[in-house]
Structure 1
Amino acid sequence: MNPRRRLGIFTLALALLGAGVACSNDAPETKAAEADAGPVTIQIGTADDDPDSPGGIAIMKLVELVRSGSDGNLLLYPVWQASGPESVEWDQKIARMVKEKQLGMGMVPARAWDTEGVSTFRALNAPFLVTSDALADRIVTSSDLATELMSGLEKAGVMGLTLLPESPRHTFGFRHALVRVEDYHLQTIRTPHSLLNEATLRALGGKPVDVTDSTFVQGVQDASMAGVESGFLLARGFPAPSTAAGNVIFNEKVNTLVINPEVYAELSEANRTVLQDSVKALQVWVLANRTTETANAVAFCNLGGKIVTASAADLTALTKAVQPVYADLAKDAKAQSQIERIRTLKQSIQVPAQDLASPCP
C-alpha cells in the first residue's frame, strides 16, 4: 500500500529501552568495566516499517556487526516506522528526531536533507545524473567526494557516518506510463518530500505531493493520483498495477546513516571504534549484497507491473525540460563542482547489464 514500504505493517517493541532514551552510557571507559555495568544501547530509527525492506536489511546487518564487534557491549535497537504509520515528511521526521536526541541514530535518505538546510547532497540528487548502481557505488566509495557530500550534515545537528546506495528511482504511472514530457502535464505524483525532487517534477509539468498512505491509496482508487516516484523493489506495496519507464531514472536513492553528536561523544573510545569499523564494514556489505536493478525489475514484472522504454527523443526532451533545475543548481558553486565531478565519473563507468531494467508486457 505504500511505495516506500510493504503492506502488513508491524513495529518492534523495544522492551529493553525506556521511552525517549536514545543512548545509555554510564559505564567506565574500559571494555571490562563496560561489560560489568551492562551494554550501552542506542536506538536507530527509520521510516521503513520492517527488517525486510532494503533499508531494514542494512540496519539489521549493522546491528549484527556492532554486537559482534563489541562482544555485546554496544547494542543497536531498530525503531521501525519511527515517523509514524500515517505520516508526511516521514524522512525529515527521522532526521529531526536524531537531532533532538529522541533517537540516537537514524537512516535518512540523502534527498531529504535539503529541507533541513543541507545543500551538499543536491548534486547527488540532480535529475537524470546518477542513473546506475555502478555510478552510485563509485560516488560513495570516493572518499573525498563522499566526505564533501556529508559535510553539510553538521549544519542539521547530526553527524554523518556513511552513505549507503539503495536503488534507482523511477516514476510509476497508474493510468498511463510517464515516459514523455507531455505525460507529466498537470499530473499529480506522489514523491517523498524533497525540494529538489519536487522542483524536478514541477519542471516536467507535474504536480508533486507528499501525502499520507491512506490519502495516496484513495488517490489511486479515485484516479486523482497519476503516479508515484519510487523504486522497483518498493513497488510491491503499491495499491494498483503500474507502468514504469525502465530507462528513465530520476536519481539513485542513497541513504545516510547519522548519529546524534552528543550520543557519539558519550560513547567510550572502544565503542566509537567499534561503531566506526562496523559502519565501514556495512557499506562494503551493502554494495556487495543488495539486489540488482535487473532483479528488482523482474520481481516488479512478476507481480503484474509493466516496464516500457523511453525513446532517445523522449529522453532528450525530459533532459531539456529539467534544465531550469540545473540553472538553479549552478548558482551553488560547490554543487556545480560536484555535478561536474559526478559527470566525469559517469563517463568512466561502463554500466553492467545487471544495472538495467528490461521491458516487460
Structure 2
Amino acid sequence: MRSRRTTAGAALSAAIGLVLLAAGCSGTASGGKPADNTQGSGTGGPAVLSLATPMGGSEEFDAFLQNVRTLSHGSTKISVQFDAHHKEGPDFEEQLLNDVQSGRVDLAALGSRAFDIRRAPALGALTAPLLISSFDAEEKVLGAPVAERMIREVDGGGLTGVGLLPGSVRRPFGAGTPLLGPQDYKGRSIGIQESKVADSTVRALGAKPEWFGAGSSVAGFDGFEQQIGSVNGSRYDAAGMIGTANVVLWPRPIVLVANTKAIERLGEDQRKLLQDAARRAVHGAGADLREEEHRDLESLCARGQTFAAASPAQLTALRKAVQPVYDHLARDRRTKEYLDTVTALVRDVPAEPPLSCKD
C-alpha cells in the first residue's frame, strides 16, 4: 500500500513550515481586509497560497499538500489555517466559502455537502444515502472521469474548483436504541451537519434533522451522524450513544476550491499543477482512510464505545425508506446523470466491513 501520510518527523517539519507560512504570508479566513496571498507570482519568487479548513488537521488532504511541494519543486507553497469557523454555528462551511469568494483566503478544503444546498446541487449525488458505502467505493468514484466533470459544478460566483478528494465516511449513532432500521428513526431528533441531502434523508426516515456546528455538543440529540474520527476527537462517545456497525450513510468527500481571481494570478502551469496534485492524491486514499478510522476506533473501544449491527431486513428497509431522496435528486438532469454513473461505478464494490470492538 502506498501511504499518503508522511512519517511523524516529516509531518512535524511540514506542520512547522506551514505554521510559519501562515503567520507571515497568508490572509485571514475569519475577517479583515482581503490580502494578495499569491505573492511571488510573476516576480520570480514562489507563489504562496493560503488554505483554510474547518478540520483540525490536514490528514485527509496531506497527499495534496505533499504533491504540490513535490511537483512544484518549491515554486508553489501553501499555508494552512485549521479550525476555520470551527464551532461558529451550523453554517461554518458556508462561512468559509464566503471567505474564499471574497478573497480573504485563496483556497479551502471542506466537505462537498456544503455545496448541495444552493451553490452546486448536483454534488448531492456524491452523498446520496447508502450509495457510496465504503472507502474503496469513494476512491473509485473520485478517481474516475466523472469526478473531473463534477468538480466543474463548483465554478462560478468567484469560486473555481481545484479537485475532489476522498474523505471520511459517516455513520449513525443512537441514544438508548441504536439506529438500525427506519423504525428506530421515527420521531427522533438527529444531529447532522448542514446538508440538503442529509436533511432530506433524515426526514424520509421519519426523524427531525437538527443542524449543528463542527465540534458542538450532541448531548441534546436522540442520535447523530458523524465519522469515527470526529466521534473520537470530539469525545462524542461521552454521550453514551450506540453506533451502527454496518451502515455508512454517506461519505464526506473533500472539495478543494479556490478564489477565482487568486488562481488566475497564477501561471497556467501552476494552475494545472494544483489540479494534478489533487488528482494524484486520490490514489491510495481508501486504504489510508480506513487505517485512520481503525486507529480512532481503537481509542473509542478503549473508552467503552459500543456498536450494534442492522439485520439484512433492516438494511433493505432503510434503502426503501430513502428512495424519495433519490427521486428528488433525479429531478435535475445533471444530478441524475451523476447518480447513474456513480451507481454503476460502485455496484460491485463491497460495503465497508462492520465495525467491532472485539478482537
The RMSD of aligned alpha carbons is: 2.5
1:228 equivalent among 194, 209, 224: 224
2:48 equivalent among 41, 46, 53: 41
- The Cα offsets for residues 6-47 of structure 1, whole Å up to 9 and x where unpaired, read as xxxxx968321355325233543xxxx513xxx321110111
SS in 2 for 1:324: helix
Report the AA paired with residue 69 of structure 2.
R
Distance 1:259 1:229 in 2: 28
Report the AA paired with residue 128 of structure 1.
L
Using structure 2 for the length normalisation, give the TM-score: 0.83
Q: Which residue pairs with 1:307 in the alignment?
A: 307
- The Cα offsets for residues 154-203 of structure 1, whole Å up to 9 and x where unpaired, read as 14532222211122211112333111222212211211100111010011
Q: Which residue pairs with 1:192 in the alignment?
A: 193
Aligned CA distance change for structure 1 residues 299 and 120 (closer, same or farther; 3 Å): same
| Aligned 8 A contact 2:51 2:108 in 1 | yes
Q: Does 1:57 align with 2:59?
A: yes
Report the AA paired with residue 35 of structure 2.
V
Q: Which residue pairs with 2:75 in the alignment?
A: 73
Map 1:1-361; keep pairs closer than 5 Å.
14-17=22-25, 18-19=27-28, 20-21=34-35, 23-25=37-39, 27-28=41-42, 34-35=44-45, 39-49=46-56, 51=57, 56-143=58-145, 145-212=146-213, 216-217=216-217, 220=219, 224-236=220-232, 237=234, 238=236, 239-284=238-283, 286-287=285-286, 289-292=288-291, 296-351=296-351, 355-360=352-357
Using structure 1 for the length normalisation, give the TM-score: 0.83
Distance 2:242 2:278 in 1: 36
Give the number of equivalent residue pairs.
Answer: 330
Aligned CA distance change for structure 1 residues 315 and 137 (closer, same or farther; 3 Å): same
Shift of 1:308: 0.9
| Aligned 8 A contact 1:294 1:357 in 2 | no
Report the AA paired with residue 325 of structure 2.
V
Quick check: 235-244 or 19-28, which moved more? 19-28
How high is the sequence identity, in percent, across the aligned residues? 24
SS in 2 for 1:159: strand
Distance 1:314 1:242 in 2: 19
Gapped regions of structure 2 (runs ≥ 5): 1-17, 29-33
| Aligned 8 A contact 2:139 2:285 in 1 | no
Distance 1:342 1:27 in 2: 38
Shift of 1:349: 2.6
Shift of 1:120: 1.7
Distance 1:161 1:23 in 2: 17
Quick check: 168-177 or 61-70, which moved more? 61-70
Distance 1:329 1:27 in 2: 41
Shift of 1:118: 0.8
| Aligned 8 A contact 1:162 1:256 in 2 | yes
| Aligned 8 A contact 2:194 2:212 in 1 | no
| Aligned 8 A contact 2:127 2:197 in 1 | yes
Report the AA paired with residue 85 of structure 2.
S
Distance 1:142 1:162 in 2: 12
Aligned CA distance change for structure 1 residues 212 and 12 (closer, same or farther; 3 Å): farther
Distance 1:149 1:323 in 2: 23
Distance 1:294 1:274 in 2: 32
| Aligned 8 A contact 1:46 1:82 in 2 | yes
Distance 1:159 1:240 in 2: 39
Distance 1:312 1:148 in 2: 35
Distance 1:98 1:265 in 2: 14
Q: Which residue pairs with 1:8 in the alignment?
A: none
- The Cα offsets for residues 103-156 of structure 1, whole Å up to 9 and x where unpaired, read as 10011211110123312212211111111112111111111x112322311145
Distance 1:337 1:178 in 2: 31
SS in 1 for 2:121: coil
Quick check: 281-290 or 70-79, which moved more? 281-290
| Aligned 8 A contact 1:162 1:283 in 2 | no
Shift of 1:333: 2.3
Distance 2:199 2:117 in 1: 11
